[in-house]
Amino acid sequence: MITGTIRSPSDFEEGDFRKFAPRFSEENFPKNLELVDHIGAIAKKKGVTASQLTLAWILAQGPDFIPIPGTTVISRLEENMGALKITLTSEEEKEIRAACENATVHGGRYPEAFAKALFADTPALSAAEKADQKSNLVVQDTASANNLL
């Protein structure tokens, strides 16, 4: 969506999961394009793509921020790598942050029918699993201590 090439749910290929996600519904899609268009306008002023600008902004947040863009197309990977050459001014960083903070995301990420599968309690460990886990921790701690010596 951030590339700006997809402008409506009808642009998704048949079978694309996003056709079922509330965020990409006919009702919500145009509302969610507002942020995409704002980022696109900033990118255009800078002479870069919206994807590059977004990745550069994430990278500018600090060394502990690592963007993980998804793509299935080599040309998009090459485009994304261009973000490494972009330096943002503090004003540009602030403008992008303000655009993100002022944006309202419309529609859920997943269809409601999927909601029950999103969160689950971890099953309790059996006594044997607890003992195994404890012995593994002791082995790891011993190995770590040996590495320090």
Place of tokens 């943002």: 88
Question: Does residue 85 lie in a domain region?
Answer: yes
Residue 2 in any domain: the answer is no
Question: How many percent of the chain have pLDDT more than 70?
Answer: 89
Query: Would 49 be classed as within a structural domain?
Result: yes
Residues 66-71 have a mean pLDDT of 88
Mapped onto helix, strand or coil, the DSSP state of residue 61 is coil
Domain that holds residue 31: 9-121
pLDDT at 55: 96
Q: Is residue 15 left, alpha or beta, with left meaning phi > 0 and alpha meaning psi from -120 to 50?
A: left
Least confident of 37-41, 106-110, 145-149: 145-149
| CA-CA-CA-CA dihedral for 135, 137, 143, 146, to nearest 10 | -100
One-letter amino acid of 125:
L
Residue with tokens 């995301």: 105
**Contact of 25 with 8, CB cutoff 8 Å:** no
Domains identified in the chain, total number: 1
Residue 146 reports pLDDT greater than 70: no
Q: Judge whether 37 lies within some domain.
A: yes
Confidence of residue 141 (pLDDT cuts 50, 70, 90): very low
104 within domain boundaries:
yes
- Tell me if 56 sits within 8 A of 83, measured CB to CB: yes
Residue 81, in any domain of the structure: yes
Q: For residues 108 and 22, is the Cβ–Cβ distance under 8 A?
A: yes
Of 20-24, 77-81, 128-132, the least confident: 128-132
pLDDT at 135: 67
Is this prediction's pTM over 0.85? Answer: no
Residue 21 lies in a domain: yes
| 60 within domain boundaries | yes
In the chain, alpha helices (H) = 29-46, 50-59, 74-81, 90-102, 115-118, 127-148
pLDDT of 34 higher than 70:
yes
Residue 77 pLDDT class (50, 70, 90 cuts): very high
